[in-house]
Amino acid sequence: MFLSITKGQCQTNKKPNFIIILADDLGYGDVGFTGSTQIKTPHIDALAKSGVVFTDGYVSGPVCAPSRAGLITGRNQVNFGYDNNLTDALPQFNPEYSGLPVTEKTIADRLSNLGYVNGIIGKWHLGEKEQFHPTNRGFDEFWGYLGGGHNYFPSDTSNKKYNRPIISNYKEPQPITYITDDKGDECVDFIKRHKDEPFFLYASFNAPHAPMQALEEDLKLYAGIKNEKRRTYAAMIHRLDVNIGRMIKELKAQEIYDDTVIVFLSDNGGPDTNNGSINAPYNGRKGILLEGGIRVPFVISYPEKLKSGIYNKAITSLDLAPTFVALAGGKITKKDRFDGVNIFPFITNKIEGNPHETLMWRFTISAGIRKGNWKLVRLPDRMPLLFNLEEDPSEQNNVAKEHWDLVQTMLKELGNWDVSTPHVLFLEGAKWRRNQLDLYDKKYQLTQPKK
């Protein structure tokens, strides 16, 4: 850790802009700055180079909707019953509660109160009933879709789930061309229109989430990858990278790049064979609490006040909401009940120590806790798993038997949290429990493929 505040710190009280660029189901090892040998992401890498790269950056859930609920509120979603992915409500659950509880404040709600204009482009996935729509959750502008995914091309209507209408409250939505490009267009347009006022842009891309659909010209770039799914996946990431490049170019053209806080991360780990992703060097995948499900590529760029570097203490997507509020000049009090913290003083070395002594996760059949470099995972059909992440980042050696006191301490802390949380608001189908447990016994690719 070698970060410090750059000399610009006292020169301006201008409120920074905020952009969250969220990739969807991106494998940990599938961008340049996390070591991909196959996939080239020059624009994402340039962003990483201009900012702080978090080696131990986590999301709060291993699947889309819970992770997004945590990210957008700064509260662990399990603490308000949003444990699960949104699906069709089971008969015993009231569909009026299938979404982000209206009692929770989003980043947009909080920044609205601080004078910001807020926009979301892309995937919402936090509820489809009127009360959950982004324009009722602090966002002034919405161009996108309410569900968990979308077709990339207009012509492909094979999967109804991914064939939902584009909704916008500020324009008649144009027909899509290739949706990653369309989202890029809208993000660039948002930046142009709001360059003179403090803004928050939630750029919610669906790449490289299924359905696996890529442009021919991008597929040609990866003709050397034999596996068709991985080739398509690589091409989809290329197009994401191109559009991130377009956004950065626009910010620079408008001379607001330096005072814009840009965060890049994925909402969860890659689902390996489902989309061709690789989480190397981490074990596991989307849907489970091994590192491959929850540790993600994570960057914050803010050239005006944040010197570039690497930060290696554990942080979480839950930290974004309080960090943004603090940087925007807001006050954080206990009433906010944030589970995240303002990480800015930590990453600028104003505060020593760890932003978090403990991080905890819960998802369907599994729960996990990290304390320092120790990580414990609790499953229903076996003794707890304990890993030392410093010595064994790929979680290959379960050392629970050698550290039984520690296992008990960590189980106690995890269990106490568990029984303090409210009942869940909605559930996924029962078959997912078996499915997720089986994923703990699979073998995952822990090294990068040859080029």
Instruction: Single out the segment in contact with Ca ion by CB under 5 A; choices: 132-140, 248-256, 261-269, 385-393.
Output: 261-269
The Cα–Cα gap between 24 and 33 comes to 17
Instruction: Single out the segment in contact with Ca ion by CB under 5 A; choices: 221-229, 262-270, 353-361, 429-437.
Output: 262-270
Residue closer to Ca ion by CB (options 25, 319) is: 25
Selected from 64, 69, 120, 299, the binder of Ca ion by CB under 5 A is: 64
Residue closer to Ca ion by CB (options 183, 305) is: 183
Rounded to a whole number of angstroms, the minimum distance from the CB of residue 401 to Ca ion is 35
Rounded to a whole number of angstroms, the minimum distance from the CB of residue 148 to Ca ion is 8
Selected from 41, 79, 260, 268, the binder of Ca ion by CB under 5 A is: 268
Instruction: Single out the segment in contact with Ca ion by CB under 5 A; choices: 64-72, 171-179, 193-201, 344-352.
Output: 64-72
Residues 6 or more apart whose Cβ sits within 8 Å of residue 149: 24, 123, 161, 162, 206, 209, 210, 211
Rounded to a whole number of angstroms, the minimum distance from the CB of residue 182 to Ca ion is 19
Residue whose token pair is 């990290």: 370
CB 180 within 8 A of CB 23: no
CB 367 within 8 A of CB 378: yes
Separation in Å, CA 444 to CA 236, 271, 277, 393, 439: 22, 10, 11, 14, 10
Q: Is 359 exposed, middle or buried (0-12, 13-18, 19+ CB in 10 A)?
A: buried
CB 76 within 8 A of CB 82: no
318: helix, strand or coil? helix
Residue closer to Ca ion by CB (options 277, 323) is: 277
Rounded to a whole number of angstroms, the minimum distance from the CB of residue 364 to Ca ion is 15
Residue closer to Ca ion by CB (options 25, 182) is: 25
Rounded to a whole number of angstroms, the minimum distance from the CB of residue 1 to Ca ion is 30
CB 265 within 8 A of CB 68: no
Instruction: Single out the segment in contact with Ca ion by CB under 5 A; choices: 265-273, 298-306, 351-359, 370-378.
Output: 265-273
Residues 6 or more apart whose Cβ sits within 8 Å of residue 443: none
Residue closer to Ca ion by CB (options 409, 435) is: 435
Residue closer to Ca ion by CB (options 34, 268) is: 268
- Of residues 391-410, those binding Ca ion (CB under 5 A): none
- Of residues 201-240, those binding Ca ion (CB under 5 A): none
Selected from 45, 267, 336, 428, the binder of Ca ion by CB under 5 A is: 267
Tell me, residue by residue from 408 to 437, as one string, x for binding to Ca ion by CB under 5 A and - for no binding: ------------------------------
Residue closer to Ca ion by CB (options 273, 358) is: 273
Residue closer to Ca ion by CB (options 63, 247) is: 63
Q: Which residue's beta carbon is nearest to the bound Ca ion?
A: 64
Residue closer to Ca ion by CB (options 268, 283) is: 268
Q: Is 314 exposed, middle or buried (0-12, 13-18, 19+ CB in 10 A)?
A: buried
Residue whose token pair is 């050696």: 397
Round to the nearest angstrom and report the end-to-end CA distance of the chain: 31
* Residue 300, phi then psi, degrees to nearest 5: -125, 125
Residue whose token pair is 């301490």: 409
Instruction: Single out the segment in contact with Ca ion by CB under 5 A; choices: 47-55, 88-96, 266-274, 303-311.
Output: 266-274
CB 229 within 8 A of CB 246: no
Rounded to a whole number of angstroms, the minimum distance from the CB of residue 65 to Ca ion is 8
Instruction: Single out the segment in contact with Ca ion by CB under 5 A; choices: 45-53, 257-265, 268-276, 300-308.
Output: 268-276
DSSP state of 295: B
Rounded to a whole number of angstroms, the minimum distance from the CB of residue 67 to Ca ion is 7
Tell me, residue by residue from 18 to 47, as one string, x for binding to Ca ion by CB under 5 A and - for no binding: ------xx----------------------
Tell me the site size for Ca ion, rule CB under 5 A.
5
Residue closer to Ca ion by CB (options 20, 325) is: 20
The sign of the dihedral angle between the CA atoms of 309, 311, 316, 322 is negative
Q: What is the 3-state secondary structure (H, E, C) of 340-390?
A: CCCCHHHHCCCCCCCCCCEEEEEECCEEEEEECCEEEEECCCCCCEEEECC
Instruction: Single out the segment in contact with Ca ion by CB under 5 A; choices: 264-272, 300-308, 368-376, 432-440.
Output: 264-272
- Of residues 271-290, those binding Ca ion (CB under 5 A): none
Instruction: Single out the segment in contact with Ca ion by CB under 5 A; choices: 9-17, 62-70, 91-99, 345-353.
Output: 62-70
The Cα–Cα gap between 122 and 124 comes to 7
Q: Read off the amino acid at residue 292.
A: G
Residue closer to Ca ion by CB (options 31, 64) is: 64
Site residues, Ca ion (CB under 5 A): 24-25, 64, 267-268
